[in-house]
Amino acid sequence: MQVLVIENAPSAPAGLFGQWLEQARGATLHRVTPETMPDDAGAAALVVTLGAPQGAYEDLPWIHRQRRLLAGAIAARRPVVGICFGAQLIATAIGGRAAPFTRRFVGWMDVAHAADPVWRGPWLRWHGDHLEVPPTAEVVARDQGTVQAFHFGSAVGVQFHPEADADAARRWGQAVPHWLAENGLDAATLDRQSEAQIVPRAAARDALFSEMLRRAGLPPT
């Protein structure tokens, strides 16, 4: 399976999701950046778009170009998965909206309202934006006033970060320590949370990844 992976920032790689795609699904990942991104999905069986410091509402040429790529893939019923910024970009491509939120979410959190336990978590959150999807989309996870996961046709988006390993979380905390403080955390506490969640919850994470692909239209192998 050929997978087009759009890594929108060096700090937000495919991580654990990329490893799972390669190991569990035998995928070949074609990693691109906003600068090297093609104009369409080409022959990829799956498009994955990842996190970024930017917001999907920003007026930047590469954001508009990627939105068109995603909209075209979804219109062609090509499986698409978006994480954090990627989910926001999918939402805006299908008639939804992304905007700065009233607070920033950092740390390992459960999801209050989930369509299935697989979405409930706890999952690592790291975002400060609010996400809305059109009525034609199915919200499968919602918490604290914003969408955490949704499904629309061949597309699935999640605001939380199941792909992040402990090193990624540590780098993010070092980059914006005030985000940690706003959520009552420090670097050591975040490290402990990550250690307690990432390895012990490997099976839950695998189940989530499988469900994301199933909803996007890729059956189990």
The residues assigned a catalytic role are 84, 161, 163
Report the distance separating Cα 42 and Cα 46, nearest Å.
10
What is the number of alpha carbons within 13 Å of residue 203 lying toward its C-beta? Answer: 2
